[in-house]
Chains A and B, each alone.
Chain A
Amino acid sequence: MNGIDLIGPQFAVLVAAGLILLVDALLPQQRRLIPFVALAGLAASALWTISWVGRDDYQTAFGGTLALDQYSVFFYFLFAGITATVVLASIDWINREGRGQGEYYALMLTSCAGLMFLAAARDMITIFIALELSSIPQYILAGWGKDSRSSEAGVKYLLLGAIASSILLYGMALLYGASGSTLLVDIGAFVSAEGEANRSVLIFAMVLLIAGFGFKMAVVPFQMWVPDVYQGAPTPVSAYLSVGSKAAAFAVVMRIFFEALGADVLSDDWSTVFAVLAAVTMTAGNVMAVAQTDIKRMLGYSSIAQAGTFLIGLAAISSTDDPTTLGASSVLLFLAAYAFTNLGAFVAVIAISQRLGSDQIKDYAGMWKRSPFLAAALALCLVSLTGIPPTAGFWAKMFVFNAGIRADLTWLVIIGVLNSVVSGYYYLSVARQVMTGQSDGPKIPVSIPLTVSLAAALAGVIVFGIYPAPLIDAANSAAGIFPG
């Protein structure tokens, strides 16, 4: 039983969370070290993951409930990176807030461990527990701020999240009832053998699963919570929700739908559902984002629209007959590129709004005068979100469209393309205000942790924008676990 080794990355993160609580309780004078404990835990987790890449020894653990494969490794790196960036970006804010240092980071690491479990889970019970492990800390974190807005965000997220979880459980229960197993592999075997006879119950379960995960993926029509929570929650937490939580939801959705429901009996059905959701989500998200005046709400709606673009890749998974699983790898690539880009945008917003005390887009005018670095960084991230080269966002969009076209979803790609024009309008209008307007405000200093996290995100955006091959290779090999 070498199970501990197989959950090493999660283990490292959880140990760090425990250490943080200890430091917080026993060494109150040393509280400023807490973020570094968190970073050390994440670094250990990443190192552990690297050692696997070297060992090339992929397997399943705990009776097949957890998988250790290229796919989970990809997400371990992604989540460790995301959480590290968010931790760095939180330091200033939490110091100013002046309370609950230990709990904040401990919760964030616990949530990160939950995300990692989610990416590796191959069993419905494990998936559900991992989902709750990652979600419950997020509910608390969303309500961390002192103002009523933040409390409202926390409660709203909690209530809607609970409803989504219950819908998800219904779907899982139906699947279990029909197939008699909670393991995705067994369900997959059942679906391909007897799916035809049980089609109606399977479709019912599938719809419930999509609804439940749709909440976490922030897909229209399950997106209502997004703008309010993103706006109300502390900005670092919004950043975390918009990339970490979303990426994990996509990770697990791909696992479930590909391993358990991937047989031809069902795949055309869910492919169509995802295609329609993609079209609706992109369009609704973008149209609503145009009208926003608050930058966090704008990023919230834009993240909805981006989720719609991911869905193109999901819809393309089933209908593609290309053995390279283009759809899956394009979604993975997009998730990674989106993570760098959106984190970069959020970190810049954190740094700016700390000084500004405002999230209004109009107050961002002339930011280049007050901090050229932040202004350029924000503009670059927005350009990447639009999908203009030489940024990582360009490759991501291109690969998703590429998968869509190969899967004969040209109509959907056309909608996606038109949507990127709409998104260009609001992204670039913010970039324009930041880079052009006039402002007499004082200079905005950027603290070292924020600079580091922003520089890391920007490096990802630019390096992979110019030389995307490593990222594409990683996404490809991660997607390679799915049968063609």
Chain B
Amino acid sequence: MELTVLVFLPVAAALLIMLLPQSQEQNAKHVALIGSVLALALSLWLFFDFDKGAEGFQYVTREEWVNLGSFRIQYFFGVDGLSMPLVLLTTFLTVAAVLVSYSITMRPRLYFAMLMVLATSVLGVFVSLDFLLFFLFWELELFPMFLLIAIWGSGRKEYSATKFVLYTIAGSAFMLIGILLLAFSDLQTFDIEQLGRGEVTGTLLPLGWVFFFLFVGFAVKLPIVPLHTWLPDAHGDAPTAVSVMLAGVLLKMGGYGLIRMCVTIMPDQADDYGVWFVAIGAVSVLYGAFITLRQTDVKRLIAYSSVSHMGLVLLGIGALGETSLVGATYQMLAHGVVTGMLFVMVGLMYERTHTREISRLGGLARQMPLITTGLVFAGFASLGLPALAGFIGEITIFLGAFQDYEWAVLMSIFGVVLSAGYVLWTLQRVVFGPVRHEWDDVTDQHRWWEHSAALGLAALTLVLGLWPALMMDMIGPAMDPILVRLAG
């Protein structure tokens, strides 16, 4: 019940927004803010009320939805230690996304409604425990994303929006094949909990194929090299709030899916192909970092750095150890907050300078001290400075994977060194250096929503960096059943 309310709260806000009369359309943002803050409050309550010691899923809602004998779809929600932190991340970033959108004046009703639908679809993905319901929410996200990028984006926004949608449809189409194949095994169910406990036998194609189909679906979203090319375009041209959501939570749907579906349901195949995950992950880390170095557009730069960071997640998942899996999950959370903050700060900067070309920016520390402080802070978190969020995830993944995959970890550590390079170099070019007088007239961040979005994200970055146990205690036990299956 709690989860039903949580998932559909944003959609309710969206409906309310669409019902606003034209004259009230500037109030859409307030409705969206109230809706997303309520969702955040609810998920915070669920988070702290969560029983960390208990096994299995909590806050379960389970109803029959479509029943055709062999073809049963359930309305089945529940969270465990893996999904609960991701749910919290989603509601948190939704609030941030609404706050940074406060200056949107063009078609605000549609904008905020779509943002709310997006939040619902992501929440639905994280809490759905029926594979088909999961898929439904997974696909639901396409439409709002498409409109948000195509209408409120910049640059080649329509090209990017279409590219994003087509890549996702292609990936999820394969996922659908995988889901159907999986459901027509001897288990005869879409129930993720059941699939994750039983042994899948009697599929029409070898299970390795099923694994591959699902992997493609999740890998496009994560994204891995070479399926990543939609990401820089989508990020580059999306409005700030959408970049926040995209980098912050949408990419995590891929990592979540890999752990929840591929690894949990098909542990034997995961064992066989784990080394590929590690290899692809390490390549993504390095390749992403190299490409990032030569970006000239700040948002595309952050986008490529995401490819690199998500490569680490894949590496952690592929190593299949307790530490590495926990690290991968933590890295997802940390990357969500940190990259979300980077996009917020860059967004605030862009709103003032109307350029994202690194070569045109410079010396901005003088004109916008607060924004650049936030940028430097988030940048340091992104390069993995200890005491900030990014460090914990990376170090845990490296520790977990080192024993089995030294070479991959060494490669990735080099990637992390590169990330220090590109972050510092970018900060030096954008924030420091000689003052450019063409930016003398721009203002610093000064409105309450800008302050609160930046402060909130910064605070969470610190919390994740200083108090890892807060999340780890929850994530750790959730990995135990997976490890039992992997060992068995």
Contacts and interface: CB of A to CB of B under 8 A. Distances in A.
A417 to B, nearest CB: 4
Interface stretch (A51-59, A243-251, A401-409, A447-455): A401-409
Contact of B166 (A394, A425, A436): A425
A386 to B, nearest CB: 7
Interface string A401-438: 11001101010011001101100110011011001100
A196 interface: no
Interface residues of B, number: 33
Given A428-B165, A432-B162, A390 B204 contact: no
A405 B151 contact: no
Contact of A436 (B136, B158, B180): B158
A388 interface: yes
A405 B169 contact: no
Interface in B135-187: 136, 139-140, 142-143, 146-147, 150-151, 158, 161-162, 165-166, 169-170, 173-174, 176-177, 180-181, 184
A429 B176 contact: no
B24 interface: no
A417 B177 contact: yes
A181 interface: no
Contacts of B169: 386, 388, 420-421, 424
A421 B147 contact: no
Main secondary structure of the interface of B (DSSP, over half): helix
A476 B68 contact: yes
B71 interface: yes
B68 A472 contact: yes
Contacts of A468: 66
Given A421-B173, A425-B162, A435 B150 contact: yes
A469 interface: yes
A410 B139 contact: no
Interface string A167-194: 0000000000000000000000000000
A472 B139 contact: no
Contact of B139 (A388, A417, A418): A388
B189 to A, nearest CB: 14
Contacts of B204: 405-406, 408, 410
B151 A406 contact: no
Interface in A455-477: 468-469, 472-473, 476
A398 interface: yes
A401 B66 contact: no
A309 to B, nearest CB: 13
Nearest to B151: A436
B140 A418 contact: no
B68 A402 contact: no
Contact of B151 (A408, A424, A425, A435): A435
A401 B166 contact: no
Contacts of B181: 405, 410
Nearest to A410: B205
A390 B136 contact: yes
A394 B136 contact: yes
Contacts of A401: 176-177, 180
A107 interface: no
A213 to B, nearest CB: 28
Nearest to A435: B147
A432 B146 contact: yes
Contacts of A414: 177
A354 interface: no
A352 B372 CA distance: 49
Contacts of A383: 143
B273 interface: no
Contacts of B146: 428, 431-432
B316 to A, nearest CB: 30
Contacts of A469: 65-67
A322 B176 contact: no
Nearest to B153: A436
B277 to A, nearest CB: 23
B70 interface: yes
Contact of A418 (B151, B161, B173): B173
A414 B68 CA distance: 24
Contacts of A371: none
B69 interface: yes
A322 B70 contact: yes
A389 B136 contact: yes
Interface in B394-447: none
B140 A420 contact: no
B176 A436 contact: no
Contacts of A472: 66, 68
Interface of B: 65-71, 132, 136, 139-140, 142-143, 146-147, 150-151, 158, 161-162, 165-166, 169-170, 173-174, 176-177, 180-181, 184, 204-205
Interface of A: 322, 324, 383, 386, 388-390, 394, 398, 401-402, 405-406, 408, 410, 413-414, 417-418, 420-421, 424-425, 428-429, 431-432, 435-436, 468-469, 472-473, 476
15 contacts: A389-B140, A390-B140, A401-B176, A402-B71, A405-B180, A405-B204, A410-B177, A410-B204, A413-B177, A417-B176, A424-B165, A429-B162, A432-B161, A469-B65, A469-B66
- List 5 tightest A-B contacts by C-beta distance, closest first: A417-B173, A421-B170, A405-B180, A389-B136, A424-B169
Given A389-B140, A406-B184, A414-B177, 12 more contacts: A324-B68, A324-B69, A398-B176, A402-B71, A405-B181, A410-B204, A410-B205, A413-B177, A421-B170, A425-B162, A431-B146, A432-B162
